[in-house]
Amino acid sequence: MNLLIVDDEVIIRTGLASVIAWKELGLTLLSPAASAEEALERIPVEKPHILLTDIRMKGKSGLELAEEARKLLPGLEVVILSGYDDFAYAQQALRQGVSDYLLKTSKPEDIIRTVMQAKRRWLERSAADSRAEQAAREAAARRLYRWVIEGDVAPPEPPPFRPAANSEAGTEAEVWQAIIVSAEGWGSAGSPESESLLLFAVQNILEDLIPGAAFIPQKGRIVCAARMSGEREERRRMLRGWLDWVERHLKCRLILAVGEPAAAPDRLHHSYVTAVAAFRYHGLMPRSVWDCGDLAHRSGGKTVLSQEEESLLGSLLLANDAVGLKAWAVRLTAGLVADPECTLESAGACLQSAALAAHRWLERTLRAIGRDAEGDGLRPEPWSPEMSGQPGLAEELFGHLHDIMSLYHRRLGDSQTSHVERAKAYMESCPPKDLGLQQVAAHLHLHPGHLSEIFKRETGVTFVDFVTGLRMRKAEQLLRVTPARIAEIAWMVGYEDVKYFGRLFKKHCGKTPSEYREEALLPRAEKEPGA
């Protein structure tokens, strides 16, 4: 497909010719023209498909050139280059049927995007003009889809695969490989039009880089069926080379998820299935090229939050700290990505654990101030992470946690709760070992003596006795669910002297910590009377 640039300023036309790798976009750059008159002489002979012209030039203007050029080539796509002062002319050009316009100050990626839109329009119009060719292409595409996506190799005529991308056909190490390609970085995040246009541009470049490949566009990605040769590491180096080339020329970010190599084209469906399985790790992979072999030996990583992580989460939720909460979510998911044993299942369980920890925080905090989540309409919707191969797990988790935080603070703001209720809510979110009158009073901006006085007046118990009861409840929970030693649990709830902790625990619940744990671990049948 031919592109002709027309501008009477040599610096503009040579800059446009050299700053963008037109060949890699599937375009043949004709020698730029210095005037509309020159362009009109060459157009009937060189037959460009896309005309990129300045709007103001000596002699004929870009609008006059566009009008006359389209009479010579009715299917010509015309993109006008204008300055800020030419906006009215550009609007007039669009009314006259010019395809698009660009400011001369546009970035290279904006120029690429606009020209690729023009190319796609030309191709779509050309395809519509040739029904027979279109029908043949559609039939080939259906055969390819059945072979690769559905695994139906029954039709007698296989898709028209071509020789290997990096060697002579018939090499012993030759394999068939399904590769799922995804890209991001153009326009608004999640915009279907930007996403579609970027993938169109990516496919254009890959068709030149991998002449032996076939392509199947899907929503948000492309499936590439390539015939390659060489050992695994050699193929991976070539994949990384393709990725670097595309990213450099399109100013985007690319990912390639590669399936198991197949010995014959009728095994491409299996390669595709394994590529899909690899692609699902999109949100958990620290690199941009990986294959199913990178995931085969993963045994599973972290599935639950640590006590410290859950305590910090509670503190951030109570403090209504959106910035800290976002950083917490990013840190948690970054840890999952960095873990070489992490699987989709373990990562999903860990993210679910974070959501449940926030739900528990809300219930505990409401209970501490005498509220009920169900009765007050404060029960959050259940949430499960979407482990579907898309990035943004941190954003997804943060969104859910932020909803819970907003739910609490919107309905139970500081002005609606007493100092004592706020103190109780804060203590529920703090690590038990960090609780103290000074710390809680500082959080509420109160004098410790004043907090102690109003706490006793409103609750009927002293601050110290309330903290002791809270620590004992936390200790009960830890004894039930962790194998930690008694001394470790004593330290976790704020007591360095394990004997003193043991006396307080027995006074609180009538049993020693060891007796409590032993009874908690008994099978239910043994606990029933008469068992």
Which domains, and CATH codes, for the chain? 2-128 (3.40.50.2300), 135-294 (3.30.70.270), 297-427 (no CATH), 430-531 (1.10.10.60)
Amino acid at 450: H
Cα–Cα distances (Å) from 456 to 366, 367, 463, in that order, read 20, 19, 7
Token pair 């909803």 is found at: 403
Instruction: Name residue 225's beta-bridge partners.
Output: 178, 214
pLDDT in tens, 251-278: 899 999 999 999 888 889 999 999 999 9
More confident residue, 179 or 103: 179
pLDDT over 90 at 52, yes or no: yes
Lowest mean pLDDT among 294-308, 354-368, 416-430: 416-430
* Nearest to 233, CA basis, from 287, 279, 284, 294: 294
- Degrees, nearest 5: CA angle 461-464-469: 75
* Sheet with 28-29: strands ordered across: 28-29, 2-6, 50-54, 77-82, 100-103
Question: pLDDT tens across 470-527, in order?
Answer: 889 888 988 888 888 999 999 988 898 999 999 999 998 888 999 998 887 765 445 5
Tokens 């739900």, residue located:
359
Asked whether the whole model's pTM tops 0.85, one would answer no
324-349 pLDDT, tens per residue?
Answer: 999 999 999 999 989 999 999 999 99
